[in-house]
Amino acid sequence: MLLEHITMEEFRAGLSVTYSMILPFGSVEEHGLHLPLGTDTIHVYELARLCAQKRPVFVAPPVWYGLCRSTKQHPGTAGIGSKCLSMFTMEICKSFYHQGLRNFVLISGHAGGTHMASILDAADSLTEELEEARFAVLSVLDLVAQLPSGIVETAGDAHAGEVETSLMKHLRPQSVKGTSPREFPNFPRFIIARNKLKFWPGGVWGDPSRASAEKGKRIIEEEAKLLAKLLEELENFKD
């Protein structure tokens, strides 16, 4: 039930099966020298589609732009501000709520702290405003943290490293342009750096050399199982 592909009659019929929707968030953001700017969005949307094969759920078109603080000086990154992201999230969810949906999984392929805080703040406000709505908010890194041990070899892998390179080798192999050196950002603690490129020149957080398409297939399949389980928990949640 991909919303951009169904008609209004198919949407109406879908409401007899489920009142749930996955709203995927991504970014237009650098991913090292080897991965495309749309990596976050590609990952999270394909994950949502795979989850929809396991459990009935509407999947909204992805939100392509996010809040990219640490990478905003890298070539190609284009983002939006916190207020814009929160407001957009609230407006979209309210619109779908008035169309009859009640359970919303807001999942982001971009896991920046301020980005996630903006989505979480919107969901918290909507929980108070919309009496029958339920929300779950998470990033793909929350799912990666729950993967069976042994799949991911690189400790602390987070951006354009082993995980995302594996996923793209599986999902979009034609878009992977070689590799990038292993790297971890070196931002100072507590201090806001003006020259962010100085502390994270290559834009990689992990080790792309450990990636494989086989790992990518297993990662997204495990993520989809975890996401389907969360959706079930949300639909049955009462407080």
CATH number at residue 9: 3.40.50.10310
Question: Could you tell me what percent of the chain has a pLDDT over 90?
Answer: 99
pLDDT of residue 7: 98
Cβ count near 156 (within 10 Å): 10
Question: Could you tell me what percent of the chain has a pLDDT over 70?
Answer: 100
pLDDT per residue over 150-198, tens digit each? Answer: 999 999 999 999 999 999 999 999 999 999 999 999 999 999 999 999 9
- Helix, strand, coil distribution of the chain in percent, nearest 5: 45, 15, 45
Number of domains in the chain: 1
Local confidence band at 199 (pLDDT 50, 70, 90 cut-offs): very high
Question: Taking all residues of the chain, what is their mean pLDDT, rounded to a whole number?
Answer: 98
Q: Is the pTM of this model over 0.75?
A: yes
pLDDT per residue over 102-144, tens digit each? Answer: 999 999 999 999 999 999 999 999 999 999 999 999 999 999 9
**How far apart are the C-alpha atoms of 117 and 66, rounded to whole Å?**
11
pLDDT of residue 166: 98
Q: Which domain holds residue 34?
A: 3-235
Enclosing H/E stretch for 129: helix 113-129
pLDDT of residue 162: 98
pLDDT of residue 237: 97
